[in-house]
Amino acid sequence: MSYDKCVRCGSCVKFCPIFDAIGEEQFSPRGKTYLLQVMDQIDEDEELGREFRRLLFQCTMCGRCAEICSSDVDLLRIWHEQRAKAYETAPEEFEYIEALKKSLANVRNIYGLPMDDRAIYWVDELEVDFPDIEDRLYEEGKNADVMIFLGCLMSFRGSQIPVLHSLIDVLERMDIDYLIMGAEEFCCGHPLDLIGDEEGAKELQKHNRGVIEAAEVKQVVTCCPGCLMQLRNHHQLDAEVLHHTQFFDRLLEDIPKYSQKEDFTYHDPCELHRLCEVKKEPRSLLKKMEIEFREMELSCCGGGGLLRLTDPNLSDKVIQLRAQREKLNRSTVITCCPACREQLLGTDLKTVDIVELLDQVMRGS
């Protein structure tokens, strides 16, 4: 087993956001790896098994431990496999997963809201400035160059509407031929992937693939790194899949200069930076706008790995700790992930998506 390679050096411990928040060894990657080794050596221990299953879901799946480990313990894959095994062994311990699965099976989104609501609230809001926005919603028979895949968070959360407004504004200014999947979009399957339900995820992805293929698009663009990962790795698309920062960085060379009055810090979303390896383009866009920024310590916002669902208090604790450290710098946090944005909005830090900055410079404001 790969976890046998753990030599308990402890390099991973201090980088784990959960250990950082709780300070107890069993929550750390080394602690969980040790528990796995112990469980291999003793007869089934009900109490230990239950504790280990709980710990597996008190993790943001940020991948920092796997990146740090010099013994090549494939930690992220281990957490994935063990989560699937945990859910299979004791489904009764995971009521929230049952609720999530039911919601995805019935209405194809994580919120349990009616499917049509995917393109209701934000459409109503955006219509004021973009009266023809409904024409951009995908329907059978429509084609375009680019398909915008919003994902559950951006489709349903009011807090994401300013980002969506900026995204549409920039696309319109650039005269991009695009469609938005809207009510035809199903969840990308990322939440199911995080609990090892490959079949469930595949079913959602098959539907999305059908819509994307029917629209004959050349590119699929999303602002959500979790959706990006699923669209790229599991949807089996012929179309190219890009994060919005990649899409804009490729097309925009001469961007007006941003009139900077505040200090900025750039926060790398874990799934974008570490799991999708999109590191260059967000920074390149900021440089093209001549924005000066500080790099935030590479650490998770606490919003990934379903932690908001499995342990919202712990998720809050992770982001509040980061916010306390950042507050000293009094800067606005730039990011480009809807989940990171949600987490940051729960603190007293100011946050902005890169596309909002892009929109501001294009509007000349």
Binding site for ligand SF4 (CB under 6 A): 6-12, 16-18, 29-30, 33, 59-65, 68-69, 71, 73, 75
Whether the CB-CB separation of 338 and 329 falls below 8 Å is answered with no
State CA 81 to chain mean position distance.
20
Strand-strand pairing, 332-335 and 146-148: unpaired
64 vs 288 by CB, closer to ligand SF4? 64
CB nearer to ligand SF4: give 11 or 284: 11
- DSSP string for 351-365: EEEHHHHHHHHHHT-
**Pairwise CA distance, residues 339 & 189, whole Å:** 15
**Which CB, 79 or 122, lies closer to ligand SF4?**
79
CB nearer ligand SF4, residue 61 or residue 211:
61
Nearer to ligand SF4, 15 or 122 (CB): 15
Helix (H, G, I), strand (E, B) or coil at 322: helix
DSSP string, 243-284: EHHHHHHHH-SSPPPP---S-EEE---HIIIIIS---HHHHH
* Nearest residue (CB) to ligand SF4, 64 versus 136: 64
Least distance CB 6 / ligand SF4 (angstroms): 3
Smallest distance, ligand SF4 to C-beta of residue 225, A:
15
For the CB of residue 60, give the shortest distance to ligand SF4 in the complex, in Å: 4
CB of 179 to ligand SF4, least distance (A): 35
Least distance in Å: CB of 195 to ligand SF4?
15
* DSSP conformational letter for 348: S
Nearer to ligand SF4, 62 or 171 (CB): 62
Q: Do strands 146-148 and 264-266 pair parallel, antiparallel, or not at all (unpaired)?
A: unpaired
Rounded to a whole number of angstroms, the minimum distance from the CB of residue 277 to ligand SF4 is 16
Minimal distance, residue 16 CB to ligand SF4, in Å: 3
Shortest Å, Cβ 311 to ligand SF4: 12
CB 142 within 8 A of CB 212: no
Cβ proximity to ligand SF4, 11 vs 360, nearer residue: 11
In three-state secondary structure terms, 334 is strand
Q: Single out the residue of 359, 361, 363, 339 nearest to residue 164, CA to CA.
A: 359
> Which 8-state DSSP code applies to residue 299?
-
> Is the CB of 103 or the CB of 230 nearer to ligand SF4?
230
Q: Cβ of residue 27: shortest distance to ligand SF4, in angstroms?
A: 8
Contacts with 365 (C-beta within 8 Å, 6 or more apart), sequence order: none
Residue nearer to ligand SF4 on the CB measure, 9 or 251:
9
Cα separation values, 146 from 9, 71, 141, 213, 247, Å: 47, 42, 15, 11, 10
Tell me the torsion sign for CA atoms 245, 250, 256, 257. Answer: positive
Amino acid at 216: E
Environment class of 115 (CB within 10 Å of its CB; exposed 0-12, middle 13-18, buried 19+) = middle
Least separation in angstroms between residue 290's CB and ligand SF4 is: 34
In angstroms, the CA 335 to CA 333 distance is 6
